[in-house]
Amino acid sequence: MSTDGDPLALSVSRAKALYDRDPTCRALGISLGDVGPGRAVVRLRLTDTMANGHGIAHGGFVFLLADAAFSFACNTHGPVTVAQGAQVSFLRPAAVGDELTAEAVERTRAGRHGVYDVTVRQADGTVVAEFRGQSVMLSGELRPG
């Protein structure tokens, strides 16, 4: 299927190509869901090896999930784009066995810079964390497959 001129198809193709080159996401079981220009959804089921000393999800894994959604969303436009900065607010704990969904949405792009918000939720819709990422485009095109 040709993706020429179809922004949705190009976005999906770019995100899938990036996912295919991301050994961390694949090794942890992060799956890529819905994708569109400037947006992406990823999912992760928390395992016992992702718990901290309190027996709840380690914040690093919650951050990583949000960061993955951010990465896929900001790379849907074509140029190679990386994080310039990010902040996370942990709002509620998540437990081993929970399936978390992170949904990234582009808020703005100006020149080479972008701002993206990511909400991490449990399956019942409870918000676990809010993440804001700032992106910067590098030179070079992210090529599908």
**Does a structural domain hold residue 145?**
no
The sign one gets for the Cα dihedral 56, 59, 60, 61 is positive
Q: How many domains does the chain have?
A: 1
Q: 62 lies in a domain?
A: yes
**pLDDT, tens digit, for every residue of 63-72?**
999 999 999 9
Contact 103, 91 (CB under 8 A): no
The whole-model pTM stands at 0.92
Is the residue at 21 inside a domain? yes
Q: Output 110 or 5, whichever has higher pLDDT.
A: 110
* Element containing residue 31 per DSSP (H, E): strand 31-36
Residue 126 resides in a domain? yes
| Segments in 55-106 forming alpha helices (H) | 59-74
Is residue 2 a part of any domain in this protein? no
**Residue 46, domain CATH:** 3.10.129.10
The answer as to whether 121 is a domain residue is yes
CA distances to 42, 64, 100, 132 from 116, rounded to whole Å, are 15, 15, 18, 6
pLDDT tens profile 2-13: 456 788 999 999
12-26 pLDDT tens trace: 999 999 999 999 999
Residue 100 covered by a domain: yes
| Pairwise CA distance, residues 117 & 115, whole Å | 7
Structural domain includes residue 1: no
Q: What is the extent of the structural domain holding 114?
A: 7-140
